[in-house]
Amino acid sequence: EAQVTQNPRYLITVTGKKLTVTCSQNMNHEYMSWYRQDPGLGLRQIYYSMNVEVTDKGDVPEGYKVSRKEKRNFPLILESPSPNQTSLYFCASSPYRESYEQYFGPGTRLTVT
């Protein structure tokens, strides 16, 4: 089954404790992206990657890191999480073409206390 998977689905952590949210897709898509979704603000892009070893900042990259060492994986790293990073996070992937019909993962709900 073609899908985007994320782990963990739920995470409660404390301020400053480094964490990684994994994202993997089995569709051989070139493009991958991370979003956060907050009430009243909608989905905002954090980082995106056009292909292996090619990443760039989205609208809200502060406090996050990403890497793209393999085509299928695009982990999101929070080096020192803070309470304002409490949010619902989505990973998405898309084949590289002019229009980006993105396929989203199930989401990771992160709470930073």
Partner 1 sequence: EDQVTQSPEALRLQEGESSSLNCSYTVSGLRGLFWYRQDPGKGPEFLFTLYSAGEEKEKERLKATLTKKESFLHITAPKPEDSATYLCAVQMNTGFQKLVFGTGTRLLVSP
Which is closer to partner 1, CB of 8 or CB of 16?
Answer: 8
Q: Output the smallest distance, CB 96 to partner 1, in A.
A: 9
Tokens 């980082």 sit on residue: 47
CB 109 within 8 A of CB 10: yes
Cβ count near 20 (within 10 Å): 13
Give yes or no for residue 4 binding partner 1 (CB under 8 A): yes
Which is closer to partner 1, CB of 16 or CB of 73?
Answer: 73
Restricted to residues 53-72, the positions that interact with partner 1 (CB under 8 A) are 56, 58-59
CB 85 within 8 A of CB 75: no
